[in-house]
Amino acid sequence: MSFLYKNVLILGATSGIGKNLAETILKRSSAKVVVTGRREERLKEFVNQHGGRSAYYAFDMAKLDGIEGNFNKIFSEHPDIDFVIHVAGIQRVALFHKPEELDIDMLAHEVNLNYTSVLYTLKYALPHLLSHGGGSTKKNAAIGVVSSGLAITPFTISGNYAATKAAVHHLVYAIREQLNNTNVNVIEIIPPLVNTELGDDAMSIGVPINKLPTLPMEEFSDLVWKGLESGETQIAPGTAGDRVNAVEAVREPLFRRLDDFLKNADWWYKDRA
């Protein structure tokens, strides 16, 4: 099975998983890539390196009031975008046993970028992606998110980060079911600890993140690509896969039980038969 999508919008691609995903797609497929991020110089460098199959837009996904306008501009200039994936995120240490040291503005920023901007992405990207279907249920577009293995088993010093990623993970359950009878796939990438800048904040206060088992970026990218190419909608490489397999075996049937209740409620499912 080949990679289904022709033009991918990657939200948060100046470094780490987002940048690597963009490079992997360009290298291993004929798809075009549109990258976004805060650091314009890095985006320019990326496009200069990869030529005509890439484009960039510099904006901050944490600035929520600008998301709609930026999406409108991108989709008007790249109407063939058929896969939008939200990668942007930050991870900060939050020591709640030292409340006097908590930076509440940073915690709110972490929530806005990691979770609330995902909601904005769904609101303003889904109309474009659904329009590719023309009313068909044949899957020809996708919305994607990057959560985390910490969505399954949190890390004590990064509780707020883990909570935002758990929120994303639970949201995927709901939107995947709601979009089941549409043309839009819902793809979740669940990374384990990968060698990116994400853990720098913990390292800065002496937490030896570098001593934890880390999946090399090249291996992670290879596993993600294989999942995307084969049409998987939940991709959890390495130790993240171990966590998912352990927990979701219990959670999935419980979710299905609740969803079956909704399926018997005409007020919700009558137009989705």
What structural domains does the chain harbor? 7-240 (3.40.50.720)
Q: In what order do the strands lie in the sheet with 141-146?
A: 54-58, 32-37, 7-11, 83-86, 141-146, 184-189, 234-235
Q: For residue 219, what pLDDT band results from cuts at 50, 70 and 90?
A: very high
Question: Could you give the angle at which helices 117-131 and 159-178 cross, rounded to 10 degrees?
Answer: 20
Q: Is the pLDDT of residue 132 over 90?
A: yes
Q: For residue 203, what pLDDT band results from cuts at 50, 70 and 90?
A: very low
- Which pLDDT score, from 0 to 100, does residue 204 have? 47
Q: For residue 51, what pLDDT band results from cuts at 50, 70 and 90?
A: confident
- pTM for this model (two decimals): 0.91
Q: For residue 207, what pLDDT band results from cuts at 50, 70 and 90?
A: low
Higher pLDDT, 198 or 65: 65
Q: Is the pLDDT of residue 198 over 60?
A: no
Q: At a CB cut-off of 8 Å and minimum separation 6, what does 244 contact?
A: 149, 152, 190, 234, 236
